[in-house]
Amino acid sequence: MTAAIIAPPRKESPLLFEGLTWREFKAVEQLLDRPGYRLSFLDGVLEIKLMPGEPHETVKERIGALLELYLLMAGFDFTPTGSMTLESETGKVKREADKSYKLAPGRRLPDLAIEVVFSSGGINQLEAYKRLKIKEVWFWEDGLLEVYYLRGEGNTLYYEKVSSSEEVKGIDLDLLLRCINMVNHVDAVKTFQQALQK
């Protein structure tokens, strides 16, 4: 069985509108509250993206299926929180991850946010997640997976690129990535499950 990378479509750039106050952003958000658009906000910049197509959704759901299989088998008491809205008026930020997870009971915010990138440009996603204090962020882009972990305290928070997950202890990211990039979903899940059972 040969793994093949899912062919990405041409990257689209989001629409960006600068110089908005939080109040103006919330007004625009209400006007555009309809299917087909995803809005993000950071430091007065409104980002509008059209909802992604099938390649994006396939990768997103594949990551979710594999990760949830691992979390179950590893004994995590987790809650999938999907693309829940994360926002802070004082931080001047609003963001919705493609996938997010609380990895233990009683959490107010997700511990992990996952982004599947099929676009170019836009707001600084790591800066947005830093202001929201999301501990770990994964980016899948062009067949690669990058993991960032939040370090520091108070006003000195920053993300460090790491080679293994600190929130999802023990997960083999190389195996995960190989399975994410397989063409057939069922083959990907079976391959991952068989490797976990060894």
- Sheet with 158-162: list strands edge to edge: 79-80, 99-102, 112-117, 136-141, 144-151, 158-162
Cβ neighbours of residue 2 under 8 Å, at least 6 residues apart?
none
* CATH numeric code, 53-197: 3.90.1570
Contact 128, 137 (CB under 8 A): no
Q: Which residues of the chain fall short of a pLDDT of 70? A: 1-11
Q: Sketch the domain layout of the chain as residue ranges.
A: 53-197
Tell me what pLDDT residue 3 has.
45
Contact 80, 68 (CB under 8 A): yes
For residue 60, the surrounding DSSP H or E stretch is helix 54-74
Tell me what pLDDT residue 11 has.
65
Whole-angstrom distance, CA of residue 181 vs CA of residue 166: 22
Tell me what pLDDT residue 15 has.
83
* pTM, 2 dp: 0.87
The string of pLDDT tens digits covering residues 39-92 is 888 888 888 887 777 888 899 999 999 999 999 999 999 999 999 899 999 889
Whole-angstrom distance, CA of residue 109 vs CA of residue 119: 26
For residue 137, the surrounding DSSP H or E stretch is strand 136-141
Cα angle at 56 between 34 and 77, to 5 degrees?
90
